[in-house]
């Protein structure tokens, strides 16, 4: 036990440091250093010890990186603090299994080539984490690289592919430090190749500008979450948004954030009439988050109202588990009742309806958490000329979440080389160009109207054409070859 104490403590420190590779800190080199430490300390251990070290690493990685989850559950979900902490810990404990399994499986089945198998298994399991049981694609290792040289790989192989580049570099440095001279030269060659290729790819432009721009206004109401849905606040909310929007009626697009109108569309006619009156003498395309109820099916949706000549809607399809719907309701309903966790019951919109065609542009639509799912944006390609994302990060207060969420949005702009407009309730609202540069951003927690212009693009990136399939095939084939080679030795 004593001989394992220092390595276990070291992987805890490495896991605790890894969240600082992401926004708002952006020490992206830690995304290589921290897995390097983990891989090195799991190498030549038993599979059981490797699993424990991997689990400790991940427990602190996610425990620090997504600790903000308890804020929304406790302060705004009506849940007692103990229930909120239990629920947050259960999620962290579950997602920590993925990195732990990557080192466990590498030692267990690829013992002679475990250091090569670790990055392959890491990224395949990270991809699995992104969709299994609805998925939680947050703090993907590749996301940390939005401001590094290695972002050059995102338009080609996406977020997960870039993540593989990062953890494979970590494994290569382990080889240099711990292996014989022959394989060290191979690792050095690989590192040099990755850096050289990134330098070549970085200036490449895969999409084509339409030589047309839109003037846009993003309105941030900064309505506190705890009073947002109170009936007595509705008039104040609408008056605030209308006042902030005065400059926006001269823009091509005027965008309000997620559920900015705190009513169902079907009973909001009085409020929508005020907006239509403002819109009458302008050429502005207006959109806002609003809840929508289908009176025929009795389903209701988290939606975006697009108001020009007629009212159209985009309905959110990737819902937040335990926030917008309850997975495994017969099994979990009683448990959540004990913990006093209230539930929403939204329905999923059509997952294929990701674009809205207007006379301004073809818009790729998303709401809040959907921007963490790259495939959702890919469904809008290549038709979309620009991405729209409305969100409400007020749920997470003054935490890391809004900064991490903005960084995720930046990844989508790099993968598809499209500009993105991000309107949020309390910030960070932003205009992001096709290569992840933040053109304008709002301060947090104050009412703000963000006005600027944005370019439109067309065309496909390699990642837009092929998605994650090449990366998944390559990693799977390499693992099979390693497995066969390991069994022969």
- Helix (H) / strand (E) element for 234: namely helix 234-244
For this structure, is 340 an active site residue?
Answer: no
Tokens found for residue 150: 């290695």
**3 state DSSP class of 279:** helix
The dihedral region occupied by 427, where left means phi > 0, alpha psi between -120 and 50, and beta the remainder, is left
Choosing from 34, 42, 368, 475, the catalytic residue is 368
- Helix (H) / strand (E) element for 30: namely helix 30-42
**3 state DSSP class of 439:** strand
Q: Cα separation of 316 and 351, whole Å?
A: 8
Tokens found for residue 225: 């979450």
Residue ranges of alpha helices (H) inside 291-441 are: 329-338, 374-378, 401-416
Choosing from 228, 316, 354, 410, the catalytic residue is 316
Beta strand residue intervals within 79-155, DSSP E:
none
**3 state DSSP class of 202:** coil
For this structure, is 258 an active site residue?
Answer: yes
Q: Cα separation of 341 and 335, whole Å?
A: 9
b/e map 210-227, b = 16+ CB within 10 Å: eeeebbbbbbbbbbebee
Look at residues 118, 136, 120 and name the one whose alpha carbon lies nearest to residue 128.
136
For this structure, is 316 an active site residue?
Answer: yes
Would you give the end-to-end CA distance of the chain in angstroms?
Answer: 31
Choosing from 126, 258, 370, 415, the catalytic residue is 258
Which residue reads 């390097």 in tokens? 36
8-state DSSP, 320? P
**How far is CA 444 from its chain centroid?**
19
CA dihedral 442, 443, 449, 452 (to 10 degrees): -30
Show which residues are catalytic: 258, 316, 368
């Amino acid at each position: 036990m004593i001989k394992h104490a220092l390595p276990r403590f070291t992987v805890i420190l490495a896991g605790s440091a890894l969240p600082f590779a992401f926004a708002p800190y952006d020490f992206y080199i830690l995304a290589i250093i921290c897995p390097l430490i983990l891989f090195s300390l799991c190498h030549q251990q038993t599979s059981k010890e490797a699993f424990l070290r991997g689990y400790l690493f991940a427990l602190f990685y996610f425990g620090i990186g997504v600790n903000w989850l308890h804020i929304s559950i406790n302060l705004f979900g009506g849940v007692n603090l103990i229930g909120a902490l239990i629920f947050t810990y259960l999620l962290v404990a579950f997602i920590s299994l993925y990195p732990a399994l990557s080192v466990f499986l590498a030692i267990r089945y690829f013992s002679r080539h475990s250091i090569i198998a670790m990055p392959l298994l890491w990224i395949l399991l990270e991809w699995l984490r992104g969709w299994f049981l609805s998925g939680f694609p947050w703090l993907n290792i590749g996301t940390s690289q939005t401001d590094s040289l290695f972002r050059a790989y995102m338009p080609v192989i996406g977020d997960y592919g870039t993540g593989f580049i990062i953890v494979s570099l970590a494994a290569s440095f382990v080889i240099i430090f711990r292996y014989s001279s022959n394989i060290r030269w191979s690792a050095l060659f690989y590192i040099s190749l990755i850096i050289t290729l990134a330098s070549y790819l970085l200036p490449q432009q895969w999409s084509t500008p339409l030589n047309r721009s839109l003037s846009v206004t993003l309105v941030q109401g900064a309505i506190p979450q705890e009073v947002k849905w109170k009936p007595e606040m509705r008039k104040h909310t609408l008056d605030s948004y209308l006042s902030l929007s005065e400059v926006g009626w001269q823009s091509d697009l005027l965008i309000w954030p997620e559920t900015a109108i705190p009513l169902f569309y079907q009973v909001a006619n009085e409020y929508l009439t005020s907006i239509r009156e403002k819109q009458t003498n302008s050429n502005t395309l207006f959109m806002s988050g609003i809840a929508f109820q289908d009176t025929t099916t009795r389903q209701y949706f988290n939606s975006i109202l697009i108001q020009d000549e007629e009212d159209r809607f985009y309905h959110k399809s990737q819902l937040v588990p335990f926030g917008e719907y309850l997975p495994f309701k017969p099994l979990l309903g009683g448990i959540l009742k004990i913990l006093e966790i209230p539930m929403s019951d939204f329905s999923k919109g059509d997952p294929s309806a990701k674009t809205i065609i207007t006379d301004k542009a073809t818009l790729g639509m998303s709401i809040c958490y959907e921007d963490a799912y790259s495939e959702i944006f890919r469904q809008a390609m290549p038709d979309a000329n620009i991405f729209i994302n409305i969100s409400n990060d007020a749920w997470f207060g003054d935490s890391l979440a809004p900064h991490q969420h903005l960084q995720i949005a930046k990844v989508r702009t790099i993968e598809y080389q499209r500009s993105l407009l991000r309107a949020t309730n309390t910030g960070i609202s932003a205009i992001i160009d096709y290569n992840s540069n933040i053109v304008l951003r709002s301060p947090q927690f104050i009412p703000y109207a963000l006005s600027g212009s944005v370019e439109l693009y067309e065309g496909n990136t390699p990642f837009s054409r092929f998605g994650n399939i090449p990366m998944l095939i390559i990693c799977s084939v390499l693992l099979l070859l390693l497995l066969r080679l390991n069994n022969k030795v």
